[in-house]
């Protein structure tokens, strides 16, 4: 199963869990947890970034470098998932499980 990760310009991190389809906004700690579990399952990571043609802010670059450290196969998506493009005030609360 793939896991989908979208990095928003403002540093927001949107995840869709492949096994359940659950969508959530996470912080970096939550992203680490999601990526650890994805690595254990042998998932492929589907990745997109807001404003993909522009040089990203430092916080987005740092988060992407963190993603790469997990050494999951990464597939770049040209178009982000529509739910990843919502305004910051419309994002769901960060969940902690």
For the stretch 71-90, pLDDT in tens is: 999 999 989 999 998 888 88
Q: What is the pLDDT of residues 40-63, one digit of tens each?
A: 999 999 999 999 999 999 999 999
* pTM for the predicted model, two decimal places: 0.91
How many Cβ atoms are within 10 Å of 70's Cβ, its own excluded?
Answer: 16
């Amino acid at each position: 199963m793939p896991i989908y990760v979208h990095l928003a310009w403002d540093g927001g991190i949107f995840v869709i869990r492949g096994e359940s389809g659950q969508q959530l906004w996470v912080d970096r700690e939550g992203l680490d947890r999601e990526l650890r579990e994805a690595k254990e399952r042998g998932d492929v990571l589907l990745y997109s970034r807001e404003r993909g043609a522009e040089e990203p802010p430092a916080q987005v670059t740092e988060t992407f470098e963190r993603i790469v450290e997990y050494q999951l196969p990464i597939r770049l998506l040209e178009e982000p998932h529509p739910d990843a493009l919502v305004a910051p005030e419309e994002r769901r609360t960060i969940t902690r499980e």
